[in-house]
Structure 1
Amino acid sequence: MAKPISKIGSRRNGRISSRKSARKIPKGIIHVQASFNNTIVTVTDVRGRVVSWASAGTCGFRGTKRGTPFAAQTAAGNAIHTVVEQGMQRAEVMIKVLVLEETQHYELFAEAVYY
């Protein structure tokens, strides 16, 4: 007769949650990587652990529309909105863009932060 497999460890009598609990993060770093084809916005804590991320593709833009400044602004807004709900109040911004697009992304990113 087969024996039942016993549960071992901290999950023995506890409930297994399907979602990881959100951490409270007062400070963070926002990394923006923009190219002609897409824009990726990653928000990390000060230790470098990823808290949230968004890209123009995950915001619903497809094809050549992903490389537009408006798509970059939408991606930045989505990523920032998520971490503001988690309690982030200060952030350092690291921007990595191509030289030709630089001024447009700076302006639209600033609008997304204050939006």
Structure 2
Amino acid sequence: MAEETTPAAAPEAAAPAPAAAPAAAPAAAPVPGADKQPTSGDRAVSQSVWAEIGGGDGTETTKVIKAKGSKNVSSGIVHVQATFNNTMVTITDRVGNVIGWSTAGKMGFRGSRKGTAYAAQVVAQDACRQAMGHGLRDVEVRLRGPGSGRESAVRAIQALGVEVTVVKDATPIPHNGCRPPKARRV
């Protein structure tokens, strides 16, 4: 008898479920704020990164995934190229072999947002997480370019718990080399 009630109850429970699903969908749409999605991938990524940066010194909340076939590099060089339009971070070992890299476009920033200091912070953290998977603990930072993400990239690296030993400015300065582009007329 118990076997007869179980199969009979299952089809009845299955029939109202599809009817309830369409009724729930229109009720969810008019709710203000429910239909608002992040306009680009950078907001979803940036919120999780900001939550990790915002609290304390950041060493407790750092997520580091051990890399496959890791190289076990304890010290390296962080190359930060900060232009007005983008920020690129490459982490190498002392010889120059690339361990990890990231750019603002890779992290989901588009257009003018790629040149911001916040984008540089997210980029530096992504590259450092890759390198920390290989065992990176202390770095030398080499900054290139006039962009707004120079200082924020260094702060983001320190917030992850990587020890910054030296900060060098390696911006190339011409000794009257190439002719600069003509001035804009707006």
* TM beyond 0.5: yes
CA distance in 1: counterparts of 2:77 and 2:116, whole angstroms: 23
Q: Does 1:90 align with 2:138?
A: yes
Q: Does 1:66 align with 2:145?
A: no
TM-score (norm 2): 0.47
CA distance in 2: counterparts of 1:39 and 1:68, whole angstroms: 8
SS at match of 2:139: strand
> Which letter does structure 2 place at the counterpart of 1:81?
R
Aligned mate of 1:37, from 63, 79, 85 = 85
CA contact (8 A) 2:88 2:102 kept: yes
SS at match of 1:52: strand
Name stretches of at least 5 consecutive residues in structure 2 with no aligned partner.
1-67, 161-186
- What's the % identity of the aligned pairs? 38
1:78 is matched with 126
Question: For residues 10-59 of structure 1, what are the alpha-carbon distances to aligned partners after superposition, in whole Å with 9 as ceiling and x for unaligned?
Answer: xxxxxxxxxx7221101100000010110000000000011110000000
2:154 is matched with 110
CA distance in 1: counterparts of 2:154 and 2:100, whole angstroms: 19
> Which letter does structure 1 place at the counterpart of 2:90?
T
TM-score (norm 1): 0.74
CA distance in 2: counterparts of 1:34 and 1:89, whole angstroms: 23
CA contact (8 A) 2:70 2:133 kept: no
SS at match of 2:85: coil
SS at match of 2:78: strand
CA distance in 1: counterparts of 2:73 and 2:130, whole angstroms: 12
1:57 is matched with 105
Name stretches of at least 5 consecutive residues in structure 1 with no aligned partner.
1-19
Q: As a proportion of its length, which structure holds more strand?
A: 1
Runs of at least 4 residues off by over 3 Å: none
SS at match of 1:70: helix
CA distance in 1: counterparts of 2:101 and 2:129, whole angstroms: 11
SS at match of 1:76: helix
Structure ID, larger Rg: 2
